[in-house]
Amino acid sequence: MQMKPQDLLVVLKILASGWPGSYALLGLDLGLSPSEAHAAMGRARKAGLMHPLENTPIKTALAEFLLHGIRYVLPAEPGSMTRGMPTSYAAPPLREQFSSSENDDVPVWPDPDGERRGYELKPLYRSVPKAARKDAKLYEWLALVDALRAGRARERELARQIVERRLNYAAIR
């Protein structure tokens, strides 16, 4: 079994907003077909990120994956300058921790409706900008994931602290 990016998208959506009640609704929220949402949930369960009998994430497993594995399993793919939706340290909840002006090049998901120019950071899945616009909590989780995937040391460290706090995870160091 190989984990796919949409598997993490499904887990983060459920973490952010809870189980919507059906795979059809989950898929609609994320730009996936119901069968894609169902398959993603199955792979997430096999990977140990979702409870095998409930539609809830296993927070300790998710924290370990995000903090220690995401950079290797789903590496970031930076690209050229483009218009898009801010992510990583340029989006909530990290944006307030970093000073940037409108002229700074920040990471963005390519999006024709994007409000900011910056360097492209390929999103986990093609529908991420649309899904993030619909759900502010999901947007924050996706931005934290991008900071962990592509951020510099300070950005990764702040993202790590927020993820640990939100998931009530105390890693043994």
Instruction: List pLDDT tens digits, range 118-172.
Output: 999 999 999 999 999 999 999 999 999 999 999 999 999 999 999 999 999 875 5
> What's the one-letter identity of residue 115?
E
Q: Give the integer Cα–Cα distance in Å for 10 and 26.
A: 8
pLDDT at 100: 62
Q: Is the peptide bond before 107 cis (omega within 30 degrees of 0)?
A: no
State whether CATH 1.10.10 applies to domain 5-73: yes
CB contact at 8 A, 158 and 94: yes
> Measured in whole angstroms, how far is the alpha carbon of residue 59 from the centre of its chain?
15
Residue 89 pLDDT grade (very low, low, confident, very high; cuts 50, 70, 90): very high
Contact (CB, 8 A) for 29 and 134: yes
Whole-model pTM: value is: 0.94
Which part of the chain is CATH 1.10.10? Answer: 5-73
Q: What is the pLDDT of residue 173?
A: 46
Q: Is 169 within 8 Å of 163 (Cβ atoms)?
A: yes
Q: What pLDDT shows up at residue 99?
A: 67
Nearest to 107 by CA among 97, 96, 94, 116: 116
